[in-house]
Chains A and B, each alone.
Chain A
Amino acid sequence: MQDVLDVVERLPALMKGLALAAAGLLIGAGLRMLQNLSPLAVPAGGGGRLRGGGGAHPAVADPAGAGAACDVDGVAAAMSTVLLLFAIFAPLSLLAVGGLIPLLPEIQRQLVVEHGLLSARAFARGLRAGAGGAGAEHPVGRADGLAHRRALRVLLAALGRQCCRRRRCCALAGGGWLSRNAARPLVKAFRRGAGAAGARAVRGGWRAACRLGSGRGTGVGDGDGLFDRDLARLAASAGRARAWRGGGGAAVLSAPAHTRWAEVLALLALGVAGALQLGKVPPALLAIAGEFGVGLPWAAALLSFFALVAALAGLAAGLAAARLGVRRAPAGRGGGAGGGGLRRGGRALAAVAVRRARARGPRLSRP
């Protein structure tokens, strides 16, 4: 009898926990929905904002095309998706005793196989992005290098269009990928990010390209993208390396020829010390509960607060890391904005802007 009473006594806490979990799920799903409806989202059909050839490039946000996603049908579909997601994740979250990782196969089965909301590839990509944070931008592997190169080509095309308008250099006008409005923020970010030297180098590349274009007498560009490739190559020789070696995130530090293991160990120690903050809690739980005169439930709630604070602070830290560059973020030296710091910050921001233009998160394909 006493046992039953104990359980009943604890029920409110249990219910509270469940309600919190449900609220969290709803908020997450709601955010997802907002993201889908926001002007930044690319409609599943894609394409509409791109002009000319090179349709493979994901669109940059285009204010003019944003309205279409906000119709009533869209909202209804989004709501049903949210409900579906809730139906999938609510039972999963009840199972998630061992954390997220053990549940991943089941989540994948539900999302990919059962409901067909994501392709297997999109799931993997989302997982990588989620696990990597800013790391998704780090220059590991060839794919990221390719992404940077392609981002550069998009930028070149965007800048080229502007250059052409001003200079009446029609040779470049054929193969444009972006509308002028879409290009403007990119251009701005790139100029700021690459610094004066980079912008100069790129402009130099264009001037050469313009001369080449008129010299060839092509007049109007053929729009098959060939010219864009030439342009990219020219700009590359003119100073892509200079412009991009300084570009954001991890690229601020170039990979050395020899590894200094002391650095690696220092970073590893930092990670271990951070993880220690999680490991220190369970042994101390009883002592804390005793000292504050609260039961184990509240001591356990303390654990949850840890996770909450870590999540919020981690969010801020991740954003800061992406903007300031990784070297400044782990040691927590946020400020110190000298001229160089600002410039580097601008570079990182440009990289983020490029990234935003390039990278599409996994999108739910609504059944």
Chain B
Amino acid sequence: MPSWLTRWISDKTPTKKDLLAVYSVSVFFVYSWTLFSSFYRMPSWLFAHTFPEILSFYAYAFTVNFIESILLLILVLAWDFSLLFFLRDKRGFQTRAVLLAAAVMISVIEQLVSYGSYETIDLFLKNRSVWWLVTVTAGSLVSAIVSRLGWVRGVLEGFAERASIFMYIYLPLAALSVAVVLYRNIF
């Protein structure tokens, strides 16, 4: 591979530290949403299900979350790489990725919540493309612009760095969850 190409790729590729930070943020968003929504189910679960069953629900949910968090990371990376050259700046990768991950999650959750009822199925289907057009456009512009502001970069990179604690909490939980799901289905 020619050296200029290697250098070009290297310039465009985030470092391992960057990737971990962004993955931490993905993990934080995905798992936190699940925990948040599970609190709404807890009263009915406690009425109808045993404690081991409830723990098993979490095991399934965290297994799903694990796959989702990787999907979100891939999506964010793909989005970031697809940004036009003039919008990109390697130094702002973490900031952009955090904003893009937030944009994806906010858009997804807002659509699920806004069009959550049977009566809004048609609206959901009709408005999907508009939602994503706005999300992609706004997300790209905001992340490209904001990532050039030093103080914002500082705040968001700080957030990404601190979010790594969630990775260290949730990933072992995910591993345990996968083991539980496998155990329940094999034995």
B is bound to A: no
Residues of A within 8 A of B (CB): none
